[in-house]
Amino acid sequence: MPSTCYAVIVAAGSGERMGGDMPKQYQSVGGIPILRRSVLAFLSHPLIAGVLVVINPSHRHLYDQAVEGLDVLPPVFGGATRQESSLNGLEALSARKGTSADLVMIHDAARPFVSAETITAVHGSLASHSGAIAARRVVDTLKRSAGDFIAETVNRDGLWSVATPQGFRFPEIIHAHRAAIGKALTDDAAVAELAGMKIALVPMNPENMKITSAGDMEMAEKFCSSPAAAAVCDLRVGSGFDVHRLIKGNSVRLCGVSIPHNLALEGHSDADVALHAVVDAMLGAVGAGDIGSHFPPSDPQWRGADSEIFVRHAVEIVKSRGGNINNVDVTLMCEQPRIGPHRDAMAARLADMLGISPDRASVKATTTERLGFTGRNEGIAAQASVTVIMGGKR
């Protein structure tokens, strides 16, 4: 069942428990604001269509800094209680034109280390349940206290400590939240429980801790310098460069778009110099060799091949290594043909091939002031950059 899933990240708390002037969700661990890490976990996940953050109105400037450059939905302001803040986020999604959420995951901004696997598992559980929340079975022995002393040992059978993300079928949870206005409920699952929804407990990655105290912050810093954390926000950049000679002909193919011209590009495949640069950039970002090693020019099967095949293959390699393509930027160097009229079509083709939104694909062109081989119309050069966010296996 195809379904559209949005993430609502609740960051509306004053965050003062940890001390200091900066609210905790805007403090940095490993050099990156906690909120930005939480947003990235969902933004880079292929099952999440969009991310909306619920913020405290007095934190607006901190929020803008924390999510700078990220493709998030406009934020909404939180309410007086956690429940109100969640509901505000859900109502904003519901009211958004062009947004139709089938599923929603509500996540606490103070849990920046949620893994892609946990998000995938919660999402998967929603295929058969109205709600599914990240949780961990209680393994410590539990005691109830009387003052500072043990009163009794508590049977821990069937006890879980619950976290976020908490995922729900959208129509059901917004209905439940509307019905729960004014009730003191500590999490969204409690709202869903009240409405009689059946909610699955989904084991989560152990690093999915909530940062609330200065001690948590120290642990988070330690975690950030561990190899496991390197995969949580690991941004890679790849670059590619290619040149093909111009020969007699009647069209050139650039970024998968054929442009009528009095010359053609020479090459073993369709000689789409731009796509070749993009392929090299993608492979470079994940350290997977280059186009020649995957598609040797000596192999007759690639004669006249549509370079889109190479691009799609490289996309699969990036994904298989746990990467999400974030954006692509291509610069073509030639005097002719004129690229301007075809730029948008090229960017759209690129976005489609790379599985990214059109605003993440850019095509530019420059001449070389009639200097060099490009200036003499002997060939066309292309250079490409691709960024990839590594987010573990999905």
From 64-72, 180-188, 231-239, 241-249, span contacting Mg ion (CB under 5 A): 241-249
Of residues 207 and 242, the one with the C-beta less far from Mg ion: 242
Which token pair is 167?
Answer: 């995922």
Q: CB of residue 334 vs Mg ion: minimum separation in angstroms? A: 15
What three-state secondary structure class fits 325? strand
For 279, the token pair is: 């392929």
Q: Please identify, using beta-carbon distances, which residue of 39 and 273 lies nearer to Mg ion.
A: 273
Provide the minimum distance between the beta carbon of 310 and Mg ion in the complex, in angstroms, as a whole number: 9
Contact 322, 232 (CB under 8 A): no
Q: ∠ CA(61), CA(62), CA(64), 5° rounding?
A: 65
164/269 with CB nearer Mg ion: 269
CB of 38 to Mg ion, least distance (A): 41
In terms of DSSP H, where are the helices of 166-244? 170-179, 188-194, 214-224, 227-230
Count residues binding Mg ion (CB under 5 A).
2
Instruction: Give the type of residue at 119.
Output: I
Nearer to Mg ion, 101 or 271 (CB): 271
> What angle do helix axes 308-320 and 273-285 make, rounded to 10 degrees?
10
Nearer Cβ to Mg ion, position 236 or 253? 253
For the CB of residue 190, give the shortest distance to Mg ion in the complex, in Å: 58
Decide: is 242 part of the binding site for Mg ion (CB under 5 A). Answer: yes
DSSP one-letter code for 342: G
Q: Which is nearer to Mg ion, 158 or 304 (CB)?
A: 304
Residue among 117 and 306 whose Cβ is closer to Mg ion: 306
For Mg ion, the binding residues in 176-215 under the rule CB under 5 A are: none
Q: Which of 287, 275, 208 is nearest to 242 (CA)?
A: 275
Q: In whole angstroms, what is the distance from residue 329 CA to residue 257 CA?
A: 16
Q: Which of residues 145-174 bind Mg ion (CB under 5 A)?
A: none
Residue nearest to Mg ion (CB): 276
Q: HEC string of 131-185?
A: EEEEEEECCCCEEEEECCEEEEEECCCCCEEEEEEEEEEHHHHHHHHHHCCCCCC
Q: How far apart are CA 335 and CA 374, in angstroms?
A: 7
Nearest approach in angstroms of CB 276 to Mg ion is 4
State yes or no: residue 253 binds Mg ion (CB under 5 A).
no
Per-residue contact string for residues 269-288; x = within reach of Mg ion by CB under 5 A:
-------x------------
Report, in Å, the least distance between residue 273 CB and Mg ion: 6
Give me the residues that bind Mg ion (CB under 5 A), please: 242, 276
